[in-house]
Structure 1
Amino acid sequence: MNDSQETLLSPVNGGEEQNNEKNSVSQAEPNGKSEVKLTRQDIIEKIRSLVDMPVEGVKDEIDLLKQSYYKIRKAEMEVARKLYETDHPEAPETFVAEPDQTEEELKELLNIFKEKKTAFAEEQEKIKNVNLARKKEILEEIKSMSEDSDNINKHYADFQQLQQAFKEITNIPAGEINELWKTYQLYVERFYDLLKINKELRDYDFKKNLDQKVALCEAAEALADKEDVIEAFKALQALHDEWKGIGPVAKELREELWNRFKAASTVVNKRHQQHFEHLKENEQKNEQAKIELCAEIEAIDLSELKSFSAWDEKTKQIIALQEQWKSIGFASRKTNNLLFERFRKSCDEFFKRKAEYFKEVKDEMARNLEKKKALCEKAEALKDSTDWKATTDALIAIQKEWKTIGPVAKKYSDAVWKRFIGACDYFFEQKGKQTSSVKQTELENLALKKDVIAKLDAIDENMESSEAVSKVRELMSEWNKIGHVPFKEKDKIYKEYQISLDKHFERLNMQENKKRLSSFTFTVQQMATSDQAQNKLYREREKLMRTYDHLKNELQTYENNMGFLNISSKSGSGMLKEMERKMQKLKEEMQLLVKKIETIDENL
């Protein structure tokens, strides 16, 4: 398996849309002018049309079509697997591919063609053996001529014909080629050595052979400058084959000419060897890089990942390592697949453990939901009670128990909380109705707080800064001394008060969070002294926790979105600064909420 075929396990939510073109293959037409998208059925029909054609003309095309068929099949299975993992994230390993209904038809056609190939190969072997026998016959004839010194001149024409016939017969068993060639060269050289014919004719042959071999030397020397080392090496082999087919040259030139050709061959062979040595060096570097990636992923301590955010952060790291793996070239053939199996095993283990963790957390949340539903039922059973003291104590105890229960799934948290707090609120509202004087006091307090807001709004913006600060603090103190207001008006009046304060805080450069915390602390202290202190404090704490979770999620969204910005552009840089400003503001709000929650906990 090469790196382009390595398939790394995707994260739980990693299913992506697949292009339909992956279920077909591009097939170039013979004239090379266009491409046709073939389906698996198209491939089968194409193979069916080729099976009865001559083997030597179609075997490469059938092999290519077979590879294309299984490439499409593999792509379809990968799409089905990703879709299944998306639909069944809890058990992706249960995926079973749909059977291939057309594969048997393909195999049947391939078996028919395989039998034809076998028959063709047997026929070729017979032809090779026949050719071998004929070449041996020719060698015996040449040998006989080379030994007939008395009639050597008469044999020259026949000798040339035998040479031509020997060269034309090429398809013989590979293991016989060198020995036949050596024997041929021996007999030919013996023939020429004994030849007592016209010297001009012999010199003419020597000169013709010399010209051809000089041309081969020049061609071999030119290969030293060929950029493609592999092609140069193949071309050199072809030149050697040509050299063998050319007759001898004059004795005094043979060694010199051969040494020239051999020297040019040595240069090409050395470049070929160096090319593969360089490939080997790169493979060793790639192997080391892949070993380091394996070690890095294996070094991750999965036992330390105890939150969704921790797992998500490590998931990003794993995906980055997978992308880095894909960018590394081949290692040696001996280790490449082993290293990939090692790397994939670590990735598989990570995502398996992640899925197990998510399942455990979901199960825990489900148990927490059942516990909170049980508390809802208890609160609902008590909400109509008129035993104010005993029921108040019981509801406070239930609220404390609620606080000890862990979180539930987000889609249920608001509903179950509203159900619980609704039952508690109903009881305490009924209890509050029993004390009309308290309600009258709260209405008076509401009027006083509205008066404070009016005074804040009336502060002249041109007033001296120190005087304005003193005035704002005086009104804040006045506000903090005022008691409770009607419950339904509490949030609204406090919001109006906070808006008015924020306006002055911003103008006067006051420490907004510090003041708000101070104001909140005073409010909490007043709440702690009321009849319904525990109930109010628990409700306020739950409200702050929900607000904190909301801000946390919003902050996470900003952090995720920052990765998609192109900060090289002006607009990207501006957006990045704006997001950083908003993120900082969210962090400050979250810090204030934490301090408010701590203040409530101190008064519980």
Structure 2
Amino acid sequence: MAPRPLKKPTQPVAAPPAYSTSLEEAGRFARVEDDGHVFLIVDGAEHAVGQYPDATRDEALGYFVRKYDDVVSQVALLEQRVVAKAPSSDMTKTAKHLRAQVGERKMVGDVLALEARIDALLEAISGIEKAERAVQDELKAKELAAREAIVAEAEELAGRDPSTVQWKASSTRMNELFELWKAAQKNGPRLGRGTEDALWKRFRSARTIFDRHRRAYFSQLDNDNAEAKQSKESLIKRAEQLSESTDWGQTAAEYRRLMDEWKASKRASRKDDDALWARFRAAQDRFFEARKAANEAVDDEYAGYLVAKEALLKEAKAILPIRDLAAAKKALQSVRDRWDEAGKVPRADMGRIDAGLRQVEDAIKAADDENWTKTNPETKARTNSALSQLEATIAQLKEDLADAERAGNAKKIATAKEALAAREQWLQMLQKSAQDFS
């Protein structure tokens, strides 16, 4: 059965892109008929690749060369992952898929060499997978040792004489051990149901014994309530003395220190502690409410400055869209010169006002960067160099065409005309790019 013709694009065909595999090189592996049928040659045998009708031979060949280049690119990417020893995950599946694509013989290029590369990839990936399994086994061994260390430390805490235990630190550590256990169970490698269950039973038993000893100890804390109340009464007195202060910054810092001391102090009974906290909190509230009122008064004063800043922001936004970069930069600088002199604005408006000016600044910076890119002498030089080389090539092709016409060689005439037409199209594209730098 003849290969099914490919649908010809309805839009005009642009200048052909550069190929990773040159058409001259690809021609060693293919035969192209006048009607666009392309055949791949492998070890002397031809394989029908497909048809690209209503096109030149180079266009038909180039279509299937691009398919080959696409697979080559994917193989190269996979090779980079292998060299970088990236996680194998789907590498084998990807390599096998690429191997199957090449085996279909629906592309043009050195498919035997490409298949050899893919086969080498599969072997290398197999090695990576073996190494990953070895790493996983090592991780499991380390995880088992870490879990056993958690259990052993929990059992050691539970086995201490309750009268010698520092309960706050020990309780914190027991909670840390529990968090470590949960994190290991959630994120660590699996150790097997039997192993994990046995370790968990030991850990749970140690925590139960520890909690029982802790409850017994804290049941004796009633004698400490008087000391705790006295300490907190002292903090309340200091808080009440500070409540009338107008030194907002220093006093707020002192309240933070008082709060830290409060948190670090011992707890009284629930009833006493709640009442003490209410008094301490009330002293703080008087100070912070007074500070809030003072800040609101300042904001009222700054409201007049807000009008000036709003006007400057409106002036800055009028710069956009940018039509004359130099004029825009000058106008923005004028706004900046007057910005700080306009005064502060209420805190609630600071973010909005500053963001509005930044938006204009960012737009001008982006325009400035774009202008630099277009006028970058290095980029312009590279474009001019490419133009010179292409013009020299076109001149040589014209000479080749003239020689072929004098010799009456129809085949060379056709080849020279096709090559000349392609280079002239590329020249037009480069000339257009060069105009952007002028």
TM-score normalised by the chain length of structure 2 = 0.33
Larger Rg: 1
